[in-house]
Amino acid sequence: MSILEGRGFTEEQEALVVNSWSAMKKNSAELSLKFFLKVFEIAPSAQKLFSFLRDSKVPLEQNPKLKPHAMSVFVMTCESAAQLRKAGKVTVRESNLKRLGAVHFKSGVLDEHFEVVKFALLETIKEAVPEMWSPAMKDAWGEAYDQLVAAIKAEMKPSS
């Protein structure tokens, strides 16, 4: 039994995620920065979780490390969502879930941080593809995100 049975990420949800990600991909640099700026707008204290932002004196959007970090998180989240049904489980490139879990654990990421990020992600997608946005698309992206978070949380422990 795959991880998705019982959680159900349907063919329709997959199509909504894949089509909207295809439409957003070309703007991912701009969208990923928007996404992270939204996170910090909703939860300014989240900046403390990022070592490269803690002592930074430059405005957020000009921080040289924020753009590449935002890009890798946004693209990884969207790619993971688009692959979910095909792979039958959460998959991430660039790194692995163990490392992601350990980094989030060490940084002190809490459940409410994941909720803020989910809200910011959904808002970013809604603004990026307003003509495609619907309650069904919101649910599809929400489900994909929740499964990614569940996989990361399962690995959130001190790295050995």
Q: Tell me the pLDDT tens digit for each residue of 25-72.
A: 999 999 999 999 999 999 998 998 888 888 888 899 899 999 999 998
Residue 146 belongs to a domain: yes
Residue 116 lies in a domain: yes
How many Cα atoms sit within 13 Å of 111 on the Cβ side? 2
Q: Is residue 3 part of a domain?
A: no
Q: Report pLDDT for 105.
A: 82
CATH number of 76's domain: 1.10.490.10
Tokens of 52: 């490269």
Distances (CA, A) of 139 to 53, 93, 130, 132: 32, 24, 15, 13
Taking alpha carbons only, the member of 120, 136, 114 closest to residue 20 is 136
The gap between the terminal CA atoms of the chain, to the nearest Å, is 29
23: containing domain? 11-153
Q: Which residues contact 22 (CB under 8 A, 6 or more apart)?
A: none
Residue found by looking up tokens 């002592």 in the block: 55
Rounded Cα distance, 154 and 140, in Å: 21
- Asked, for residue 130, whether it belongs to a domain, the answer is yes
Residue 1 maps to a domain: no
**Residue 123 within any structural domain of the chain:** yes
Looking at per-residue pLDDT, the higher value among 87 and 10 belongs to 10
Does some domain include residue 93? Answer: yes
pLDDT (tens digit, 9 = 90+) per residue, 69-106? 999 889 889 998 998 888 887 877 656 878 887 888 88
What is the rounded distance in angstroms from the CA atom of residue 131 to the CA atom of residue 72?
26
- Is 62 a domain residue? yes
In angstroms, the CA 106 to CA 59 distance is 25
Number of domains comprising the chain:
1
Q: What is the pTM of this model?
A: 0.87
